[in-house]
């Protein structure tokens, strides 16, 4: 009898731990570990509503802001994971990622994030992370310009530091080779499908002359334009993107529907009118990615479905959870 009564509590505890483990595993399969869409339902129920209203106001004022906010989330996740490090200004030992090559004179939308954070601090102090603000704002920006919606897994915490070297080396560049870009995606746990689908975010927004100038004048060092770029389109681009000067001149990434989130981006690639080299090589340098480009050009629905899946996957890149990191009070600096 004694042996039985001793075994029961042990078995009971074992059963409890197995149930807890099983439910954790289930959670892990569904939403990527500790992140889940209902994270703020009790602690800050109006969080997503507040983010959406401020993003909507900013995008109504300037359509380009949608692409800028979407890009901030991407540039955040690709450095040290989705931890809000891209938002930190330089201070003390922190060298801001805003100074890196991909972000300097280019990353924008920080004031909108400040406004969102300020509103959230009033509503529920020290509760919603800056990293989560970026993830929600990226989804809202997509929806506001006509793109797909998705449930955003939440619960990220904010980093205590930044990495300018990570920003310089991990974020894909417009002149990288296909293999280099794919490797940068794979290092973050993303695959070729994610690469092609997420590149579709270039259906909205602008790019600077300095990001594609080499395609117009000297793509391979032979003093000639990129032959994979439609030559009439190239001559139009040259009128505002000279051989020297005009670095910051802006050009729409999708000349067909620059303010609408749709699959025009892929259709443009098929007629040699992708703006960046990193866009066009999806069609010209790999048969698998070329097949995906054709698939998404044919079906807006397929593109939307995959884009939403890939955004959730990207948003799950090594988040800080539990007691790691902090919830910043101001997104530009770590808490005192």
User: CB–CB of 188/197 below 8 Å?
Assistant: no
Distance CA 221, CA 218 (A): 5
**Nearest alpha carbon to residue 102 among 278, 273, 334, 306:** 278
| 327's tokens | 């919830």
Distance CA 150, CA 152 (A): 6
Strands, E, within 191-300: which ranges?
Answer: 206-208, 250-252
Q: Which of helix, strand or coil describes residue 230?
A: coil
Helix (H) or strand (E) holding 4: helix 2-31
User: CB–CB of 81/158 below 8 Å?
Assistant: no
Residue of 73, 75, 202, 240 marked catalytic: 75
Distances (CA, A) of 288 to 55, 220, 263: 36, 24, 18
Helix (H) or strand (E) holding 64: helix 64-80
User: CB–CB of 58/293 below 8 Å?
Assistant: no
Could you tell me which residues are beta bridge partners of residue 326? Answer: 158
At a CB cut-off of 8 Å and minimum separation 6, what does 86 contact? 72, 75, 76, 79, 97, 98, 103, 107, 134, 162, 167
State yes or no: is 73 an active-site residue.
no
User: CB–CB of 195/281 below 8 Å?
Assistant: no
Q: Hey, which residues are catalytic here?
A: 75
């Amino acid at each position: 009898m004694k042996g039985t009564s001793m075994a029961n509590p042990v078995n009971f505890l074992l059963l409890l731990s197995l149930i807890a483990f099983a439910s954790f595993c289930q959670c892990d399969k569904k939403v990527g570990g500790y992140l889940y869409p209902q994270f703020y339902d009790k602690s800050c129920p109006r969080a997503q509503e507040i983010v959406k209203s401020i993003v909507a106001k900013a995008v109504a004022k300037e359509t380009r802001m949608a692409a800028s906010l979407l890009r901030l989330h991407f540039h955040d996740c690709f450095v040290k994971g989705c931890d809000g490090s891209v938002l930190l200004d330089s201070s003390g030992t922190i060298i801001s990622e805003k100074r890196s090559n991909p972000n300097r004179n280019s990353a924008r939308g920080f004031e909108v994030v400040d406004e969102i954070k300020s509103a959230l601090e009033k509503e529920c102090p020290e509760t919603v992370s800056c990293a989560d603000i970026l993830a929600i704002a990226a989804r809202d920006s997509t929806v506001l310009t006509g793109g797909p919606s998705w449930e955003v897994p939440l619960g990220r915490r904010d980093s205590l530091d930044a990495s300018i070297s990570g920003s310089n080396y991990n974020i894909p560049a417009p002149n990288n080779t296909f293999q280099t870009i794919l490797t940068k995606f794979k290092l973050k746990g993303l695959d070729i499908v994610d690469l092609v689908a997420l590149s579709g975010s270039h259906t909205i927004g602008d790019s600077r002359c300095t990001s594609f100038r080499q395609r117009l004048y000297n793509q391979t060092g032979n003093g000639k334009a990129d032959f994979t770029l439609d030559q009439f389109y190239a001559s139009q681009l040259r009128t505002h993107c000279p051989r020297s000067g005009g670095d910051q001149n802006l050009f729409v990434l999708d000349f067909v529907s620059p303010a609408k989130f749709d699959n025009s981006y892929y259709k443009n690639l098929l007629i040699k009118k992708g703006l960046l080299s990193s866009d066009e090589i999806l069609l010209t340098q790999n048969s698998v990615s070329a097949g995906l480009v054709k698939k998404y050009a044919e079906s807006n629905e397929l593109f939307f479905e995959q884009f939403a899946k890939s955004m959730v996957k990207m948003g799950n890149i090594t988040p800080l959870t539990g007691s790691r990191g902090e919830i910043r009070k101001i997104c530009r600096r770590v808490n005192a």
